[in-house]
Amino acid sequence: MISFVLGVEDLADTRFALSPLHETLLSLRVLQDPGLSALHLPWRRSVIGELGGLDTGLLMALVARRRTLPDFLTPNPTGFTPSFEEELAVVRRTHPAQVRRDLLLAHAPDPLPAPLRAAAGGDEGVVELREAVCEVLRRYWKAAVAPMWPRMRLVLEADMTYRARQLALGGARLLFADMHPHLRWHDGELFIGNMISSHRVVADGRGLLLLPSVFVHQPAPPVSPDEPPSLVYPSRGVATLWDQAPSPDATALASLLGAPRAGLLRLLEEPLPTVELARRLRVTPSAVSQHLRVLYATGLVTRARDGRHVLYRRSRLGDHLVAGGAR
């Protein structure tokens, strides 16, 4: 059991962020063990043939037998959505002593695998290993994750919209209530169950960073208790991530409105924000916004503000039109 003790100031400083570097590291677990998540098998099949030129031995050695990852490879983002290159630059500046400590801690009680044994030696060897790890991660990101990142980002942003609403409606208790069964909030403390290690971290004004993830299957705090409180948690909507894009609609409704607007109208049976609509349709949010303006101007959808986001839903007229087009 790991727990975070969060005071009033820490809750006030709770924030969300996206991390392409975190997703890249976490995807290695799925690559290593295809049985970990059947949802990601389509992704795994699509990238496995793209890794022939990489040092996969070094890449796979980063994931310990217990599936833990070295903390220095997943630094907390300083902004909302840093680029992969910005995050990797932070990793390249990691002191050799921290690289050594984090690699040993992640793999304990097992010895370091052969590709990482240089970490047990002097600082010069650790620096060379750190650079080799950064280079193989950069190449792996470009081959396996970067092409899918825009689609993943839409899923993660939709999750954060939902979580922000939960926080606004019911505070920390509601925020964590349906995040994962292993999470429990009680009396100012967030308990994370089913952990390999056991420690209690007092935030002490450092706040809490929350990172939704496509590839993680259960909450993942830092391995070391010395790291600032942060939590990677499974994002909502992952089950639809690798679905095939909807085919163009050839019904009378599409003839009347055009296929993009007809597809959009069909999705709006429930209130949804622009980012979630863009994710489901696999188009840009700006494209969705253009169609929504037309549908709203013609009375086919309604809209209501929810915090920083606007939720759209079919109007009664839109419901009738969709029902008539389905006959």
- What is the distance between the alpha carbons of residues 38 and 178, in angstroms, rounded to a whole number? 22
Distance CA 7, CA 13 (A): 10
**Average pLDDT score over residue span 34-53:** 88
CA-to-CA dists, residue 116 to 15, 70, 92, 227, 323, angstroms: 34, 12, 16, 22, 61
Give the integer Cα–Cα distance in Å for 29 and 238.
16
Q: What is the pLDDT of residue 326?
A: 52
Distances (CA, A) of 197 to 75, 106, 152, 186, 222: 20, 11, 30, 20, 10
> What is the rounded distance in angstroms from the CA atom of residue 285 to the CA atom of residue 292?
10
Domain boundaries, the chain: 2-238, 252-326
Which candidate, 93, 97, 92, places its Cα nearest to that of 121? Answer: 97
204 contacts 183 by C-beta, under 8 angstroms: no
The number of residues making up the chain comes to 327
Averaged pLDDT of the chain: 90
**What per-residue confidence (pLDDT) applies to 175?**
92
**Residue 245's pLDDT is what?**
52
Q: What is the pLDDT of residue 230?
A: 94
**Contact of 21 with 88, CB cutoff 8 Å:** yes
Q: Is the pLDDT of residue 248 over 50?
A: no
Tokens 């494209």 belong to which residue? Answer: 287
Flag whether pLDDT at 250 surpasses 60. Answer: no
C-alpha 106/C-alpha 68 separation (Å) is 6
Angle subtended at Cα 191 by Cα 187 and Cα 196, rounded to the nearest 5 degrees: 160
Rg (alpha carbons) of the chain, rounded to whole number: 22
Position 242 confidence tier, pLDDT thresholds 50, 70, 90 = confident
Sequence-ordered alpha helix ranges (H) in 95-241:
96-107, 123-140, 149-177
Please state, in angstroms and rounded to a whole number, the distance separating the CA atoms of residues 185 and 174: 9
pLDDT over 70 (residue 244): no
Q: Name the token pair of 108.
A: 């304990």
The CATH classification number of 252-326 equals 1.10.10.10
- Residue 61 makes CB contacts below 8 A (sequence gap 6+) with 113, 114, 115, 116
Q: Quick one: average pLDDT of 29-51?
A: 89
Whole-model pTM over 0.85: no
* pLDDT computed for residue 318 by the predictor: 87
Q: Where do we find the tokens 């890794």?
A: 51
Tens-digit pLDDT profile for residues 171-226: 889 999 999 999 999 999 999 998 888 999 999 999 999 999 999 989 999 999 99
Confidence check: pLDDT of 77 > 90: yes
Q: Are 104 and 126 in contact (CB under 8 A)?
A: no
